[in-house]
């Protein structure tokens, strides 16, 4: 009666990532109205810099974004899928600024889409046929299962990473994933990374960049870099933020046609509701096909107009980028230090709106397992009242890691959340100590009993011998 | 500079990207391209191509502008509205802003004379009607399945319904002999044809009011369609994007009203879906406001998830929610829009009639379905394209040939009339008159010359009067040149 897509659950919304949201929705925290509700720490939103944008709006006082009578009609009628030129030009400049000018972007190579969700799906439709595969390093954003696979029929093959090397991508893990795809009979069409990574919050190193480039070049496949968190890089790692855009000017023409970026204003500007995404590519055939396909989800002309104005205000953009980075850094440091105080480490990171938190020490078994992770996640939601994202929903190959977001709440809620984690961690440690004490006592008792037994046995034996 | 790379095999894009499923090779878009190269502007380019191929409604933009200026609370960009900015900018819930859905539901009811109510919880957002078509096709059909679509139909359906979904369109041929009504016979023929070819039909898609015909379906036809889909157990998708463009009787009857007349055991509501948008009724195509309204709970649930790929900007949702909650404005807008369309349509068709050009009798839409069959050298689609190229390149009007709408008969053209001001309309009419006049003159000379030879070769029915000729000659002419016409007078009417 209905399509297979409708009847299946390949929309991916049965994963704990979405279930956590549902739990939060039923019982959302509010400082006054519902102080015991669930705090949303599963949503990678940036609400730290909204006041800056509000300030800009008040200063500019655009009368409904449609400054004059004659302009409104044109705006309301503007449905050209090439997008408002002023907007694309401002976007290209903005993308260069958040990379500190290390790369520049050409507005003609931008395809506007309804958010990064749509951009990623369009890239799959344009680069792969049903049944083909893209390789993705784990852990990865849970939404990719829907965005990349659901309606496109494309498969995701994981590139496994490990905490032993801080989840870095290696040539051997790339090769392994490629071979695995081949054994499944799939044609690999490309690699897709998120850089800065969601959920890790790290940017790729020079070594990872070189390995990725060599790998896609040697296999003659595409490389997509979802750089939606580019503006959240708050610390310079030793290599700085290396955007995959650097490969666009590598001098290798064939390779440069196979490198594509995805971007959005949802995270950097905190505007997920405005549905502003884009694909950036040197490949004119791809730009042409994707532009046509963007018809299914164009950016509202009203929104393009507002943001063209905002992003072309250079002094505002400059101060916004700096202040935004500063606030993200400070908030992240707050969370990391509070978690550290209770013995919970985080992966060292330099970007993102979240931390990749090592909660293996809080699992309820001696050896980590996904069952244990699920139980811990359930406790975190229902007992502690925190919606966090379990690593398994990000396809992490090791249990016990959680993504915890820090930029979508005010400081008060953050303090409440950290207090709750502390209480929870303390209670687990207390239980462990108590359990440890009990165990220790039992062990000592056993030991004593065993000595007594041996002693008795010895005496018995010796008496038998003697007798 | 990477010379070795020129020896490398280029990695192709997907079949979907490399194919022509985007539909832009159709002549529907060729005319747009001609317009883009040489667009009319009254001051800058008075001899440019006038865009009559774009079904936009620009007749009431002033009403919306006035409302915006009077209601700064509708915008989150103004000093007053910016307090709402945070919540709105952050809002990406695919359920949509509740007040937006409420506003849309009420508006849809008003446009149907409040004869039926809509449930806001059945409203699913999409990226314009374009996105809505793509979404509903993904929900209802699998690759290789088919939808039946009565001809002539909107050319964008080929892309919207088929490109990414792998679904096919099978035409239900409608004929001018009965004003392109959809008949049970035509539906059954199309359905049986699919069955014979081993194609699974998942649904029937209609546009009501029709694009390109501009007509609304009568109640009897609507009931035939409901009976048909229930009998075949297939879906019925009604694209009602032109619902508020009705400018005269008969009334527009929405599928929502028709199904109220059925008991549950006679009509399975899970089969019924409506596509809507504010692009035409409110003239806001740039804001990408598309809606899927389904009576099927599974489709609503799944459609919501799929709408993630084309949500409406929350900024726009907020504005529309504000606007549509202003009852007085909405009622005034609907009435005024209808009045202006009636006036434009009436004037345009009257002026065409005066030069002997007829259009299908219509009561809605932003266009007319013009009958130029008698101008064709022969009743073929090739001749239709020849005439069309003349109209684009010589008369300088971008109109859309019927073949791009999959019309089964050559000689029909869709001409859009609501996307220009009165001055441009006059210029377009003047060009048409001039074209008709010059060709009439040409034909008269040919008639005189061939008087001794067999006049019947011209196939002229000498039914136009000298009085008519004088009338035409008095009309203002534009300077547009046009090429010699085939030997048929445009004033000749097929008198039936």
- Domain of A40, CATH number, reads 3.90.1150.10
One domain for residues A152 and A251:
yes
Residue after which a domain boundary falls, among B297, B330, B363: B330
The reported pLDDT for the residue numbered B23 is 85
CB spacing of A117 vs B309 below 8 angstroms: yes
Domain contains B435: yes
One domain for residues A33 and A146:
no
> How far apart, in Å, do the first and last CA atoms of chain B sit?
72
* Residue A444 CB burial class (10 angstroms; 0-12, 13-18, ≥19): exposed
Give the structural domain span for A23. Answer: 4-49+322-425
Question: How many CB pairs below 8 A link A and B?
Answer: 253
Domain contains B139: yes
d(CA B475, CA B432): 11
Domain contains A448: no
One domain for residues A209 and A264:
yes
The catalytic residue among A110, A122, A159, A228 is: A228
One domain for residues B313 and B391:
no
Query: Can you give the three-state secondary structure of chain B, one letter per residue?
Result: CCHHHHHCCCCCCCHHHHCCCCCCCCHHHHHHHHHHHCECECCCECCCEEECCCCCCCCCHHHHHHHHHHCHHHCCCCCCHHHHHHHHHHCCCCCCCHHHHHHHHHHHHHHCCCCCCCCHHHEEEEEHHHHHHHHHHHHHCCCCCEEEEECCCCCHHHHHHHCCCCCEEEEECCCHHHCCCCCHHHHHHHHHHHHHCCCCEEEEEEECCCCCCCCCCCHHHHHHHHHHHHHHCCEEEEECCCHHHCCCCCCCCCHHHHHHHCCCCCCCHHHEEEEEECCCCCCCHHHCEEEEEECCHHHHHHHHHHHHHHCCCHHHHHHHHHHHCCHHHHHHHHHHHHHHHHHHHHHHHHHHHHCCCEECCCCCCCEEEEECHHHCCCCCHHHHHHHHHHHHHCCCEECEEHHHHCCCCCCEEEEECCCCCHHHHHHHHHHHHHHHHHHHHHHHHHHHHCCCCCHHHHCCCCCCCHHHHHHHHHCCCCCCCCCCCCCCCCCCCCCC
CA A467 to chain CA centroid, Å, is 78
CB spacing of A77 vs B8 below 8 angstroms: no
Domain contains A461: no
Task: Quote the mean pLDDT of chain B.
Answer: 87
CB A229 within 8 A of CB A267: yes
One domain for residues B200 and B315:
yes
CB spacing of B138 vs A3 below 8 angstroms: yes
What's the rounded mean pLDDT across residues B9-18?
A: 79
A226 is catalytic: yes
Chain A closest CA to B17's CA: distance in Å?
5
* H/E stretch holding A224: strand A222-226
Chain B closest CA to A179's CA: distance in Å?
19
Q: Taking CB atoms and an 8 Å cutoff, what residues of chain B touch A272? A: 89-92
d(CA B260, CA B269): 10
Q: Taking CB atoms and an 8 Å cutoff, what residues of chain A touch B297? A: none
One domain for residues B67 and B162:
yes
Q: Which of B4, B11, B135 would best serve as a mutation to test chain A binding (most A beta carbons within 10 A)?
A: B11
Chain B closest CA to A146's CA: distance in Å?
9
d(CA A365, CA A310): 52
Which residue in chain B is spatially nearest to A189 when comparing CA positions? B11
* Residue A36 CB burial class (10 angstroms; 0-12, 13-18, ≥19): exposed
Domain contains B110: yes
Domain contains B7: no
CB spacing of B312 vs A270 below 8 angstroms: no
> Which residue in the set A125, A220, A266 is minimally distant from B16, CB to CB?
A125
One domain for residues A182 and A34:
no
Cα distances (Å, whole numbers) of residue A374 to A15, A21, A355, A389, A391: 11, 15, 19, 11, 10
A14 is catalytic: no
- What token pair was written down for A277? 């995404």
CB spacing of B302 vs A2 below 8 angstroms: yes
CA angle B271–B276–B277, rounded 5-degree value = 160
One domain for residues B23 and B84:
no
One domain for residues B160 and B264:
yes
Residue after which a domain boundary falls, among B330, B361, B385: B330
Chain A closest CA to B162's CA: distance in Å?
12
If one counts every other C-beta atom within 10 angstroms of the C-beta of residue A135, the result is: 28
d(CA B399, CA A129): 37
Q: Taking CB atoms and an 8 Å cutoff, what residues of chain A touch B69? A: 63-64
Q: Which of A76, A131, A145 would best serve as a mutation to test chain B binding (most B beta carbons within 10 A)?
A: A76
Of the candidate ranges A130-144, A260-274, B146-160, B428-442, the one whose mean pLDDT is the lowest: B428-442
CB spacing of B302 vs A5 below 8 angstroms: yes
One domain for residues A236 and A378:
no
- The DSSP code sequence of A394-425 is GT-SSTTEEEEE-SSS-HHHHHHHHHHHHHHH
The reported pLDDT for the residue numbered B456 is 43
Q: Taking CB atoms and an 8 Å cutoff, what residues of chain A touch B140? A: 2-3, 6
What's the rounded mean pLDDT across residues B360-366?
A: 97
- Domain of A59, CATH number, reads 3.40.640.10
CB A226 within 8 A of CB A120: yes
Domain contains A380: yes
When divided into structural domains, chain B yields a total of 2
The reported pLDDT for the residue numbered A272 is 94
One domain for residues A244 and A357:
no
Q: Taking CB atoms and an 8 Å cutoff, what residues of chain A touch B24? A: 292
Chain B closest CA to A160's CA: distance in Å?
26
A55 contact partners, CB below 8 Å, separation of at least 6: none
The reported pLDDT for the residue numbered A458 is 57
Domain contains A13: yes
What's the rounded mean pLDDT across residues B35-41?
A: 90
Cα distances (Å, whole numbers) of residue B462 to A416, A443, B449, B459, B465: 92, 118, 15, 9, 8
Please state whether A201 falls in left (phi above 0), alpha (psi between -120 and 50) or beta.
left
Q: Nearest to residue B433, comparing CAs of B402, B388, B475, B400?
A: B475
One domain for residues B435 and B486:
yes
B280 is catalytic: yes
When divided into structural domains, chain A yields a total of 2
Q: Taking CB atoms and an 8 Å cutoff, what residues of chain B touch A15? A: none
The reported pLDDT for the residue numbered A439 is 66
Question: Cis (ω within 30 of 0) for the bond into A139?
Answer: yes
One domain for residues B200 and B273:
yes
The reported pLDDT for the residue numbered A52 is 83
Domain contains A105: yes
Q: What tens digit of pLDDT does each residue of B72-81 get?
A: 888 887 776 7
Domain contains A437: no
Domain contains B335: no
Within a 13 Å sphere around the CA of B144, how many CA atoms are in the beta-carbon half? Answer: 6
Q: Taking CB atoms and an 8 Å cutoff, what residues of chain A touch B78? A: 57, 61-64
Q: Is the pLDDT at B402 greater than 90, yes or no?
A: yes
If one counts every other C-beta atom within 10 angstroms of the C-beta of residue A179, the result is: 12
Q: Taking CB atoms and an 8 Å cutoff, what residues of chain A touch B9? A: 220
Q: Nearest to residue A64, comparing CAs of B320, B98, B419?
A: B320
What's the rounded mean pLDDT across residues B201-212?
A: 98
Q: Is the pLDDT at B484 greater than 50, yes or no?
A: no
3-state secondary structure of A194: strand
- Domain of B36, CATH number, reads 3.90.1150
Chain A closest CA to B352's CA: distance in Å?
27
CB spacing of B69 vs A64 below 8 angstroms: yes
Question: Cis (ω within 30 of 0) for the bond into B212?
Answer: yes
CB spacing of B65 vs A73 below 8 angstroms: yes
Q: Is the pLDDT at B222 greater than 80, yes or no?
A: yes
One domain for residues A226 and A266:
yes
CB spacing of A302 vs B316 below 8 angstroms: yes
Domain contains A454: no
One domain for residues B88 and B45:
no
Which residue in chain A is spatially nearest to B66 when comparing CA positions? A69
3-state secondary structure of A321: helix
Chain B closest CA to A121's CA: distance in Å?
8
The catalytic residue among B239, B276, B291, B392 is: B239
Chain B closest CA to A145's CA: distance in Å?
13
Q: What tens digit of pLDDT does each residue of B97-131 get?
A: 999 999 999 999 999 999 999 999 999 999 999 99
d(CA A275, CA B90): 10
CB spacing of B316 vs A303 below 8 angstroms: yes
What's the rounded mean pLDDT across residues B282-303?
A: 96
One domain for residues B389 and B478:
yes
CB spacing of B75 vs A115 below 8 angstroms: no
One domain for residues A345 and A295:
no
Give the structural domain span for B433. Answer: 15-51+372-495
Domain contains B119: yes
Q: Nearest to residue B330, comparing CAs of B4, B108, B128, B44?
A: B108
Which residue in chain B is spatially nearest to A72 when comparing CA positions? B65
Chain B closest CA to A366's CA: distance in Å?
39
Q: Which of B8, B10, B77 would best serve as a mutation to test chain A binding (most A beta carbons within 10 A)?
A: B77
CB spacing of B309 vs A271 below 8 angstroms: no
Q: Taking CB atoms and an 8 Å cutoff, what residues of chain A touch B287? A: 76, 300-302
One domain for residues A54 and A192:
yes
A140 is catalytic: no
The reported pLDDT for the residue numbered B25 is 80
Residue after which a domain boundary falls, among B274, B299, B330: B330
One domain for residues A199 and A253:
yes
CB spacing of B286 vs A300 below 8 angstroms: yes
The reported pLDDT for the residue numbered A62 is 62
CB spacing of A3 vs B139 below 8 angstroms: yes
Domain contains B275: yes
ipTM above 0.90, yes or no: no
CB spacing of A129 vs B313 below 8 angstroms: no
Question: Cis (ω within 30 of 0) for the bond into B447?
Answer: no
Q: Is the pLDDT at B473 greater than 60, yes or no?
A: no
Q: What tens digit of pLDDT does each residue of B453-469 get?
A: 544 443 333 333 344 44
What's the rounded mean pLDDT across residues B145-170?
A: 97
If one counts every other C-beta atom within 10 angstroms of the C-beta of residue A449, the result is: 10
Q: What tens digit of pLDDT does each residue of B256-270 get?
A: 999 999 998 999 999
> How far apart, in Å, do the first and last CA atoms of chain A sit?
91
One domain for residues B270 and B294:
yes
Of the candidate ranges A205-219, A291-305, B352-366, B478-492, the one whose mean pLDDT is the lowest: B478-492
One domain for residues B92 and B31:
no
One domain for residues A354 and A287:
no
Phi, psi of B127 (to 5 degrees): -75, 80
More confident of the two residues A56 and B370: B370
User: pLDDT per position in chain A (467 positions), as tens?
Assistant: 788 877 776 677 667 777 888 888 888 888 889 988 888 888 888 888 888 888 888 777 665 445 443 477 888 889 999 999 999 999 999 999 999 999 999 999 999 999 999 999 999 999 999 999 999 999 999 999 999 999 999 999 999 999 999 999 999 999 999 999 999 999 999 999 999 999 999 999 999 999 999 999 999 999 999 999 999 998 877 888 999 999 998 889 999 999 999 999 999 999 999 999 999 999 999 999 999 999 999 999 999 999 999 999 999 999 999 999 999 999 999 999 999 999 999 999 999 999 999 999 999 876 789 999 999 999 999 999 999 999 999 999 999 999 999 999 889 999 999 999 999 999 888 876 776 676 677 767 777 777 665 566 556 555 544 44
- Domain of B281, CATH number, reads 3.40.640.10
One domain for residues B324 and B378:
no
Query: Can you give the three-state secondary structure of A14-42, one letter per residue?
Result: CCHHHHHHHHHHHCECECCCECCCEEECC
d(CA A234, CA A329): 5
Q: Taking CB atoms and an 8 Å cutoff, what residues of chain B touch A13? A: 305
One domain for residues A127 and A157:
yes
The catalytic residue among A141, A229, A263, A280 is: A141
Domain contains B336: no
CB spacing of A274 vs B314 below 8 angstroms: yes
């Amino acid at each position: 009666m209905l399509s297979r897509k409708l009847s299946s659950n390949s929309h991916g919304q049965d994963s704990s990532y979405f279930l956590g949201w549902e739990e939060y929705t039923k019982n959302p925290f509010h400082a006054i109205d519902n102080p015991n509700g669930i705090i949303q720490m599963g949503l990678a939103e940036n609400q730290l810099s909204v006041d800056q944008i509000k300030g800009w709006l008040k200063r500019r006082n655009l009368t409904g974004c449609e400054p004059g009578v004659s302009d409104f009609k044109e705006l309301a009628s503007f449905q050209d899928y090439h997008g408002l030129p002023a907007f694309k030009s401002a976007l290209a400049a903005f993308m260069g600024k958040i990379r500190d000018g290390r790369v520049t972007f050409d507005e003609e190579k931008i395809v506007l889409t309804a958010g990064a969700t749509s951009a990623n799906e369009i890239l799959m439709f344009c680069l792969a046929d049903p049944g083909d595969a893209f390789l993705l390093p784990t852990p990865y954003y849970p939404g990719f299962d829907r965005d990349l696979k659901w309606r496109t029929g494309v498969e995701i093959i994981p590139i496994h990473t490990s905490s032993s090397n801080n989840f870095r991508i290696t040539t051997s893990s790339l090769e392994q994933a490629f071979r695995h795809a081949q054994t499944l009979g799939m044609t690999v069409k490309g690699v897709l990374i998120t850089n800065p990574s969601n959920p890790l919050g790290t940017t790729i190193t020079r070594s990872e960049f070189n390995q990725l480039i060599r790998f896609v070049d040697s296999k003659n496949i595409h490389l997509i870099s979802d750089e939606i968190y580019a503006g959240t890089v708050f610390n310079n790692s030793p290599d700085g933020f290396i955007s995959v855009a650097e490969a666009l000017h590598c001098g290798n023409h064939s390779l440069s046609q196979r490198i594509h970026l995805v971007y959005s204003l949802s995270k950097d500007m905190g505007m997920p509701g405005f549905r502003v995404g884009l694909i950036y590519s040197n490949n004119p055939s791809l730009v042409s096909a994707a532009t046509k396909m963007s018809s299914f989800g164009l950016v509202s002309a009203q929104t393009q107009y507002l943001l063209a104005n905002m992003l072309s205000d250079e002094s505002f953009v400059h101060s916004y980028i700096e202040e935004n980075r500063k606030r993200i850094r400070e908030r992240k440091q707050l969370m990391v230090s509070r978690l550290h105080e209770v013995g919970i480490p985080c992966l060292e990171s330099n970007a993102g709106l979240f931390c990749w938190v090592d909660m293996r020490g809080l699992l309820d078994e001696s050896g980590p397992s996904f069952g244990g992770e699920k139980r811990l996640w359930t406790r975190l939601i229902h007992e502690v009242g925190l919606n966090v994202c379990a690593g398994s929903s990000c396809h992490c190959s090791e249990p016990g890691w959680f993504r915890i977001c820090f930029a979508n709440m005010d400081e008060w809620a953050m303090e409440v959340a950290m207090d709750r984690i502390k209480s929870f961690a303390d209670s687990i440690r207390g239980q462990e100590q108590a359990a440890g004490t009990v165990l220790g006592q039992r062990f000592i008792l056993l030991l004593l009993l065993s000595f007594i037994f041996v002693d008795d046995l010895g005496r018995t034996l010796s008496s038998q011998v003697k007798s | 500079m990477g010379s070795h790379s020129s020896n490398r095999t280029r990695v192709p894009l997907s079949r979907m990207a490399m194919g022509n499923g985007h539909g832009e090779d159709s002549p529907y878009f060729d005319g747009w391209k001609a317009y883009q190269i040489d667009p009319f502007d009254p001051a800058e380019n008075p001899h440019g191509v006038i865009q009559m191929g774009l079904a936009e409604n620009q007749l009431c933009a002033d009403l919306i502008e006035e409302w915006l200026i009077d209601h700064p609370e509708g915008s989150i960009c103004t000093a007053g509205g910016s307090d709402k900015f945070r919540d709105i900018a952050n809002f990406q819930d695919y359920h949509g802003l509740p007040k937006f859905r409420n506003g849309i539901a009420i508006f849809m009811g008003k446009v149907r004379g409040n004869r039926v109510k809509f449930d806001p919880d059945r409203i699913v957002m999409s990226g314009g009607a374009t996105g809505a078509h793509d979404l509903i096709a993904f929900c209802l059909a699998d690759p290789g399945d088919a939808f039946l679509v009565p001809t002539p139909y909107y050319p964008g359906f080929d892309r919207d319904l088929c490109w990414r979904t792998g679904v096919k369109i099978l035409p239900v041929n409608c004929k001018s002999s009965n004003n392109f009504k959809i008949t049970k016979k035509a539906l059954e023929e199309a359905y049986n044809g699919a069955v014979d070819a081993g194609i699974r039909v998942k649904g029937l898609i209609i546009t009501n009011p029709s694009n390109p015909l501009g007509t609304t379906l009568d109640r009897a036809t609507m009931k035939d369609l409901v009976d048909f889909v229930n009998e075949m157990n297939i879906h019925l998708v009604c694209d009602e994007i032109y619902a508020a463009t009705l400018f005269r009787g008969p009334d527009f009857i929405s599928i929502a009203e028709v199904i109220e007349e059925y008991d549950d055991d006679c009509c399975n509501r899970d089969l019924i879906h409506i596509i809507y948008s504010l692009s035409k009724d409110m003239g806001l195509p740039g804001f990408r406001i598309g809606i899927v309204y389904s009576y099927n709970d599974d489709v609503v649930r799944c459609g919501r998830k799929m709408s993630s790929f084309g949500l409406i900007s929350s900024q726009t949702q907020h504005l529309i929610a504000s606007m549509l909650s202003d009852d007085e404005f909405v009622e005034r807008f609907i009435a005024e829009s209808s009045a202006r369309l009636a006036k434009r349509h009436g004037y345009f068709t009257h002026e065409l009639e005066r030069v002997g050009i007829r259009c299908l009798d219509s009561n809605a839409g932003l266009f007319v379905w013009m009958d130029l069959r008698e101008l064709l050298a022969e009743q073929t689609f090739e001749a239709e394209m020849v005439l069309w190229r003349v109209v684009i390149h010589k008369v300088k009007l971008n109109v859309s040939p019927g073949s791009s709408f999959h019309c089964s008969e050559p000689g029909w053209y869709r001409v859009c009339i609501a996307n220009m001001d009165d001055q441009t309309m006059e210029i377009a009419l003047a060009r048409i008159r001039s074209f008709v006049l010059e060709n009439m003159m040409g034909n008269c000379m040919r008639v005189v010359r061939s008087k001794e030879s067999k006049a019947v070769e011209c196939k002229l029915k000498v039914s136009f009067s000298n009085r008519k000729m004088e009338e035409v000659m008095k009309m203002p002419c534009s300077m547009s040149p046009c090429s010699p016409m085939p030997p048929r007078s445009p004033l000749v009417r097929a008198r039936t």
